[in-house]
Chain A
Amino acid sequence: SAVISQKPSRDICQRGTSLTIQCQVDSQVTMMFWYRQQPGQSLTLIATANQGSEATYESGFVIDKFPISRPNLTFSTLTVSNMSPEDSSIYLCSARTGGGLTEAFFGQGTRLTVV
């Protein structure tokens, strides 16, 4: 199993600013992902965080808006850049130790409000 610590847990930010969310896993994991979720709704994958290389982004998400780092097997950051109210959402970090049949572990999420 893996325990994921995500911070901050919530923040209120001014439009035009940037926020970096940190994700720390208590063990080495193969894969790390970043999701966005509106309260009570499904998860939308933003990108796969690749260790030592550029993240792989899903359609509709770009590196300039959501730069991601993953310097090692246990840590990743997601930055939400030049924020607007439309970026208000819950951002979740996830980690998996293997391929399609393995469990996905999640952080508790970061609730972001942009004003």
Chain B
Amino acid sequence: TQLLEQSPQFLSIQEGENLTVYCNSSSVFSSLQWYRQEPGEGPVLLVTVVTGGEVKKLKRLTFQFGDARKDSSLHITAAQPGDTGLYLCAGGRRTGTASKLTFGTGTRLQVTL
């Protein structure tokens, strides 16, 4: 079983603070995706990274794929209450049985005023 461990599991911060969420694995993935899920909804894709060392920015969110394609990080600058949710990383393989995604253990983020 390929595990994706996320840290921290839970984070409660105030509006305006910065934070980083980590996603680590002992396995190599072809791609790494980050999803955000709000209560009562399904996860929604934020970004896909495919190249080792790749960095992508989405407004206040910065995503990085590790050089060895085993880990990733999500950095949020100046967090806002709208960033509250469950953040999930997911590793994908270019080939393989049914091209399944392996989801990380999840990070619950709460941003308060």
The interface residues of chain B lying within 8 Å CB-to-CB of A99 are 92, 94-95, 99
Among residues of B, the one whose C-beta sits closest to the C-beta of A1 is B45
User: Which of chain B's residues 28-59 have a Cβ closer than 8 Å to chain A?
Assistant: 30-31, 33, 35, 39-45, 48, 50
B48–A106 CB distance below 8 A: no
Number of B interface residues in the complex (CB < 8 A): 32
A-B interface pairs (CB < 8 A), number: 70
Given known A-B contacts A43-B88, A56-B98, A100 and B30 have beta carbons under 8 A apart: yes
Known: A40-B106, A59-B1, A96-B99. 13 other contacts (CB 8 A): A40-B86, A42-B104, A43-B88, A45-B100, A48-B100, A56-B98, A94-B42, A100-B93, A100-B94, A103-B45, A104-B43, A104-B90, A109-B42
